[in-house]
Structure 1
Amino acid sequence: MVSYTTAEAATIQKIDKTLQVTAKMNVRKGAGVKYPKIGQIDQGIFVKATEFYKGWYKISYNGKTGWSPGKYLEAAPANYKEAGLIELTEKDGFVIDLRYATKKNFMEYRLYPKKAKALMTKSTAKKLKKANKLANKKGYKIKIWDAYRPMSVQWEMWYKIQNHMYVAFPLEDSKHSKGVSVDVTLVDKKGKELKMPTKFDSFSEKAGRSYIKNSKKAQQNVDFLTMIMLEAGFTTISSEWWHYNDTNVDFPTLDVPVK
């Protein structure tokens, strides 16, 4: 444990900030280069800062606490509005069923608060509304299972799965954490989900787009969903039939709350 003199302790400021790492940096046991290194943090990671002392921040990340120089840290958005995200609700014509706000997901516990919002960038929301209008023409609605996902949640998922096919590595291509990806399906006029190749987050070959043993009905439904999403301006991935990316992904990674 690092000890500070009375004078030093008096100049330590108590703060409560979320900061983003702008370049790979060392974490030290105390506020200064004279203290030993206790780890490193990669660029793009979000950390919680609780104290500030002479240009150094006391930060918490991945269960560890240490000090890092302020020149490698910048302020992160405090909430989704500040980050430029918007919310889609059932008033917009969708069915909202955020699975990570429940225990009915592959992690088997809530990763979002119960009243989490379906958030995304404005451009992604506009495209999803277009896709939903196309679905409406056939008497269907889009059900949203997931949209924007905080970076900290993406890390939590990665630590458990560590399979790039189903959970993107957070530092490289987590488009959910940019607010430009959505996980969706279709429901009929009664709100019943259409038959699809698998359930949500079925990490198996059956969820892949190249799987050829789907029932005729499931294949027809997923083909229709794919068609309207592509027409609205989304792209697909090979391993998950429910996952779609906005064609515009030039947005920052975020770690603001989904509420």
Structure 2
Amino acid sequence: MFIVFRAVVLVTLTLLGSCQLSDPKQASGQIGFVVLIPGSTVQTEVRYFSSENFVGEVIDGYQAPVIYLTREAYAALREVLFEAETLGFGVKVFDAYRPQQAVDHFVRWAEDLSDIRMKSQYYPEVEKQHLFRDGYIASRSGHSRGSTLDLTLFDLETGEELDMGTAWDFFDLSSWSDSEAVSVEQQSNRALLKALMTRHGFRPLREEWWHFTLENEPYPETYFNFPVR
């Protein structure tokens, strides 16, 4: 079983300066992205196109509940799916390409210390004023380069996600991939996800068990800003 994809309109972006991002309408080069289509071995749950995320509202730049990623990341993910299926698992993707405007939204939210409506669910042990200091929020994200994914595994027979010990986007030390604050079974599940991803060319992030970046990402210095729609 393999995942089906369709081409997105080719989007072309260019950097106007070291700290500026162009609008897609002003594009001067061409970059191909694909849309990840859910199927029997792959699920998507785009929480940034909902209020079910750490901000508590739809995030700027997410105009539809779809997943974009570079063709190269798609090809590597497809190999992950092939192997995962032989083990009885599928993959659920929460996020991949993330527009810079979404990252800017996160920054504005983090600077508003009065907005803590989602604290109990997503960052109960972290004070909001420390989100920048502790690295949970930053002005740039690897997701904006198009080859980073946030994902987990699910059981193909039951459809249930594997228990990873914390939820996705949970701001806490227990979300570190090698945390011993979670059970042995949960550590094993994280190790399985990490093994599958690294065998097929992805690099893990130690602070987030769900976060993986394609080692040979095609646009390592480019932070895109076109919307997900």
SS at match of 1:90: coil
Where is the strand percentage greater, Structure 1 or Structure 2? 1
* Equivalence for 1:192: 160
- The separation in 2 between residues aligned to 1:128 and 1:145, in whole angstroms, is 14
1:121–1:180 Cα contact (<8 Å) kept? yes
| 2:227 matches 1:254 | no
Relative to the length of structure 2, the TM-score reads: 0.76
2:41–2:85 Cα contact (<8 Å) kept? no
Structure 1 residue 113: Cα displacement = 4.3
1:20–1:44 Cα contact (<8 Å) kept? no
- The separation in 2 between residues aligned to 1:167 and 1:230, in whole angstroms, is 25
| 2:109 matches 1:115 | no
Identity between Structure 1 and Structure 2 (%): 26
Residue range with higher mean Cα deviation, 221-230 or 90-99: 90-99
Structure label with greater radius of gyration: 1
Instruction: String of CA shifts for 1:184-214, please: whole Å, max 9, x gaps.
Output: 0011122211100210111100001232122
SS at match of 1:107: coil
Q: Which has the higher contact order (CA 8 A, sep 6+)?
A: 2
Unaligned 5+ residue runs, structure 2? 1-11, 111-130
> Which residue of the other structure, out of 85, 88, 92, is the alignment partner of 1:136?
85
| 2:21 matches 1:45 | yes
- The separation in 1 between residues aligned to 2:81 and 2:217, in whole angstroms, is 20
- The separation in 2 between residues aligned to 1:96 and 1:257, in whole angstroms, is 17
Q: Matched residue pairs, number?
A: 193
- The separation in 1 between residues aligned to 2:216 and 2:137, in whole angstroms, is 20
| Amino acid aligned to 2:80 | A
2:67–2:97 Cα contact (<8 Å) kept? yes
Structure 1 residue 166: Cα displacement = 2.5
Relative to the length of structure 1, the TM-score reads: 0.67
Structure 1 residue 129: Cα displacement = 1.1
Instruction: String of CA shifts for 1:132-158, please: whole Å, max 9, x gaps.
Output: 111111111000000100011011113
SS at match of 1:242: strand
